[in-house]
Structure 1
């Protein structure tokens, strides 16, 4: 699997903090924190899948459906984000595992952009037990169950929890949240959804 060193991943995490900038006048993001309930840990119940790039994302609860474009690193070793001019486009960080592989696959999307709602505008509404499906190039679909939803200030972004190795196949969905700082043209927080693989199919 293509992986960067943990040192590079930590640098990359910083880009997630600042990569959700939106122009003034964009729809307001949530100010209050989302759900803080977490499902109890349990032994993995799904088979870890072989490497296969993701094709599309489906989150029925929040009516979020998007193809997935690969996101790499910019010249300063920060994570790329989908263009703010196409806020309904989600992307997969290609130096994380592919969804269904062992480890945390990372998917990023805008809360809004270009004065329109983004693909993850309603991500704050997710709760433990909700379902996320990702279709893969090999024809399989990786099904994930949300275990936790966090809203955290960008200056204390939990890099290890988001990017660190896991014993099973997991997923992270990341967008911006909290108050919008009009002077900085950016949101103050990140909303992070944690999920684990529960099934796969063809």
Structure 2
């Protein structure tokens, strides 16, 4: 995928994370077929990263989002411009994402390996609610922006630069993997009383027949602070 941001390369892949990264690259080389976007789950290359419309209309019942540590006050609405995740060397610009006719979230363009997408009709990162950001784990051109997303751990930082000149800093609460055919919409997209962030990409086994990964990796994070760029 999609299923894809901070000061990038100097702190990347130390110790055990380096070994895990090598493993992910081997996984990528074993599943990429070169017959189209390897993350696509639909007929069109920009496959949905999750099976439902983000936001209050999500219908899964009885599932709560992970408990977050006390966060910073929510910010006013402002479009995101850049995503940085120092621990995995992500430093990528944003594009706006829409929904396809089936109500699924379109992925970022499959020909750009270093691009993340924000669901433009949802809340903006830093605003109260769950902001949704998606990125490819790989494309037909090779590993992509969110290749190492699953390696994040609680306490890692995610920085989102915004059009209003502020940088929203999020702390990772958890990293979870869900089967695409049992995606917990409410847990991921449901309303929250504070400013939270969801980073989504593809994961799990790559099904060559379906030309799609079977799972989604979701990073849950909450707003810890903000500062001027």
| TM-score in terms of structure 2 length | 0.71
Question: Which residue, out of 127, 135, 141, partners 1:109?
Answer: 135
Which secondary structure state, in structure 1, belongs to the residue aligned with residue 170 of structure 2? strand
**Separation in 1, partners of 2:66, 2:186:** 19
8 Å CA contact retained: 1:110, 1:120? yes
- Report deviation, 1:188: 0.7
Over residues 94-129 of structure 1, what are the superposed CA-to-partner deviations in whole Å (9 max), with x where a residue is unaligned?
A: 122100000000000000001411100000100000
**Separation in 2, partners of 1:75, 1:39:** 30
- Report deviation, 1:43: 3.3
User: Paired residue for 1:51?
Assistant: 77
Which secondary structure state, in structure 2, belongs to the residue aligned with residue 161 of structure 1? helix
Note the 1:127-142 alignment, pairs <5 A. 127-142=153-168
Which secondary structure state, in structure 2, belongs to the residue aligned with residue 160 of structure 1? helix
- Report deviation, 1:189: 0.6
User: Paired residue for 2:42?
Assistant: none
**Separation in 2, partners of 1:161, 1:71:** 20
Q: CA RMSD in A?
A: 2.3
8 Å CA contact retained: 1:87, 1:114? no
Unaligned runs of 5+ in 2: 4-30, 40-64
Unaligned runs of 5+ in 1: 1-17, 30-37
- Report deviation, 1:23: 5.5
8 Å CA contact retained: 1:149, 1:192? yes
**Separation in 2, partners of 1:152, 1:61:** 23
**Separation in 2, partners of 1:85, 1:41:** 35
**Separation in 1, partners of 2:67, 2:213:** 30
- Structure 1 stretch 78-87 or stretch 179-188: which is displaced more? 78-87
**Separation in 2, partners of 1:170, 1:142:** 10
**Separation in 1, partners of 2:152, 2:202:** 14
* CA 1:167–1:80: 2 relative to 1, 3 Å: same
